[in-house]
A and B are shown apart, each in its own frame.
Chain A
Amino acid sequence: MIQTKDLTKKFDHFLAVDRVNLEVNAGEVLALLGPNGAGKTTTVRMLTSVLTPTAGSATVAGHDVVAEAPRVRAAVGVLTENHGLYNRMPAAEYLDFFGQIYGIDPHERRKRIDTLLGHFGLERDRDRKIGEYSKGMRQKLSLARALLHRPPVLLLDEPTSAMDPESARLVRDAITELRTGERAIIICTHNLAEAEQLSDRIAIIRRGAVIANGSPSELKDRFLGPPEFEARMIGPPDGTRYVLPEGVSITATGENWIRFSSLLGERSNPATLHSLLDQGVQVAGLKEVTRSLEEVYLMVMRAANGKENGSAG
């Protein structure tokens, strides 16, 4: 659905996006993760045919972003970082305006507006001026605008930035509901938890270049090693040296717990559990030790910074 090949954007002598290669299929959500100024928004703007790439190419919903710009824009729903709303306009009128721009016929337009406003809980406020809306309501209205023409591709730039937790939750829930088999979604964010929660894959972008790309678990495996599991026991361990199946190694022990990991991941858990029970250990619980995406992100960034400093030195 979305494909980029060495996508590059230069502003004068500033390289904003550097040979980015991405692929997002229908039904997938990709999170573009990176610090402010990393090139996420510029990438999105190229994918909406708002900015022209300096080099490389990209296709969105089967259309080339340069040669078929109007078709690309018709196929894309964009939630911009700034809401881009007209404060003096009532919400329903605002959606109607964009419905007209996308060429939706009046009857269908009314139907879709009613549905979207109802879906986002804005039905009662449909005739209120947007200037009177809260931040969360504005974001939901922007999302409704992005969905109005039922685009097969959604590009969401910082969908929950500067929102209170409740509004952010509402927007995240809405995004989760948008995942369908026919739709590809890209979310730009620097909220790691949000990226992990909403996306199937994550591309970490730094100074315009993608420096890591994969599913959250792939990235964790790649940068933090195989997953760790923690077995909690009843009563303190008796000092016995536990014998675990081949390939499973103990990484840490505590007062009444042990942590172990295996290259096979959770597939080795039944055998490990069996082994512990055979040794008379009373296992009260088994869980995966949480490995945060934050650790991955910081590790990737540090590695990139180190590489850069090394090459500079």
Chain B
Amino acid sequence: MLDNLRPALIITRREIRDQFRDWRIIIPIIVLTLVFPAIMNFTARQATEFVGRFGADIIGDRLIPFLLMVVGFFPISISLVIALESFVGEKERRSIEPLLSSPLTDWHLYIGKLLAVIFPPLAASYLGIGVYLFGVFRQIGWSPEPVLIVQILLLTFVQALVMVAGAVVISTQATSVRAANLLASFIIIPMAFLIQGESMVMFWAEYDALWPVVFGLAVLAAVLVRTGVSHFNREEMLGRELDSLNLKGTWRTFIEAFTAGARSVPGWYRQAAFPALKRLRTPVLLTGLVMAAAVWIGVGLAAQFPLPTGFLDVSNLEIETFSQLGNVSLLNAAGVPVIWLHNLRVVALALLLGVFSFSVAGLLVVMLPLVLLGYFAASFAGAGISPFLFATAFVVPHGIVELPALMLAGAAILYIGARIVAPSQGKSIGEVFVLGLAEWSQVIVGFVAPMLLGAAALEVFVTPWVVVRLLG
């Protein structure tokens, strides 16, 4: 392992040495390591004394751990800048070419640079945390629980890793530092939201909530590192000279992939849609598991947040009730397109969210109806109505078509994420995404949309009758 890492460490040493020759990196690191924690110490003492005068000691108590997190985060924020400079800057200056012509593997280059980019800011961050802790202990005698220190150290590390790994993914798409800096907003904005969320946790003092954050970030970092390794290759580094947006070319690539050369609808199903469906076997299985988990979560939520007694009284249900529902016209043909378009919007939303989250948020959208299903099934059970009867009445008539369609839509989104993360020799992330989108479209147009249309018709005309017959 160490032998395999040795060439990467040669790169790491050189880059770190180079960083320490650049005053633009040294000065902020020194300031954030020594000066900033001292300011935070001063702030903590002043704030504690101030709020103490009004008996609001709790604010001071919560502020000190919060500042601990802030002291840890600020130095690692530099890692994003260093990463963009290291990966894209070297590409832009072409100083990377001799390295690419050397026997180093892509992996050596990636890991060597990753370590070089993470190490100085992380060391500065940990040193800053040390300085801050020493200061607050000396000044007001505060020391955190050891577990909180571990949480903050881990949180700082995974945050740095997410930023740097994200910067590498961005670097593969940019040929200039300027373009990379603009794209970096895809990292900065989510990180800003994350820090706000973490701040709430720190003021809330529910430090156990930091564990899922650490875990989630670790998973995200792993996905980003995997994507970075897949797309950080020589071909990408030197194959593209310009950050040009070729809409015509992109459209042509999409259409070529979508039609797969077919000239008729049956031919398209044979050449494009069915092969796309076949590729979704594993994602369908995974989506099925996720959907099952969603039902289980819904059941759990029903116990936690029970509905008021009598809320689920269905004894007086009549068929007219369904025709009087506000927005959706059940038992009326006009309701079919409404439900169908609504479901298609959900599928589109899942795609949109999935694109920016390696499919994760997209799957959450797919999970949501299943959470509700589990919740109501459990709630009906609580109200003395068999959950199976509920499912047979409310879900099965149209769900028998709608749920498989939803499962396919979720699987198609998952597949796009998997394609982006997996290595794709000679193709940029953009190209991989366009091809993934074409495959997603094949599944949606070929199967999901027609199935949802059928499900909408069943929901409008069949489900209300079944509900009344079984429960009314």
Interface residues of A (CB under 8 A from B): 11-13, 45, 48-52, 70-71, 73-74, 76, 78, 80, 82-86, 88-89, 97-98, 100-103, 142, 145
Contacts and interface: CB of A to CB of B under 8 A. Distances in A.
Given A52-B425, A89-B18, A73 B235 contact: no
Contacts of A73: 101-103
Given A48-B101, A73-B101, A78-B101, A84 B238 contact: no
A84 B21 contact: no
Nearest to B252: A13
Contact of A74 (B22, B95, B96, B103): B103
A13 B256 CA distance: 13
A76 B101 contact: yes
Contacts of A74: 103
B433 to A, nearest CB: 15
Given A12-B249, A45-B238, A51-B238, A86 B102 contact: no
Contacts of B102: 73, 98, 101-102
Interface residues of B, number: 28
Contacts of A13: 249
A80 B104 CA distance: 17
B270 interface: no
B100 A50 contact: yes
Interface string B64-101: 00000000000000000000000000000111111111
A142 B97 CA distance: 12
A188 B99 CA distance: 20
B101 A50 contact: yes
A89 to B, nearest CB: 7
A53 to B, nearest CB: 11
Contacts, number: 74
Contacts of A49: 234
B18 A84 contact: no
Interface in B1-27: 7, 10, 14, 18, 21-22
Interface string B97-115: 1111111110000000000
Given A12-B249, A97-B14, A145-B98, A51 B239 contact: yes
Contacts of A70: 103, 105
Given A51-B238, A100-B10, A101-B7, A82 B103 contact: no
Interface string B353-393: 00000000000000000000000000000000000000000
B95 A84 contact: yes
Contacts of B238: 45, 50-51
Nearest to A100: B10
A74 B95 CA distance: 18
A65 to B, nearest CB: 12
B98 A78 contact: yes
A78 B240 CA distance: 20
B300 interface: no
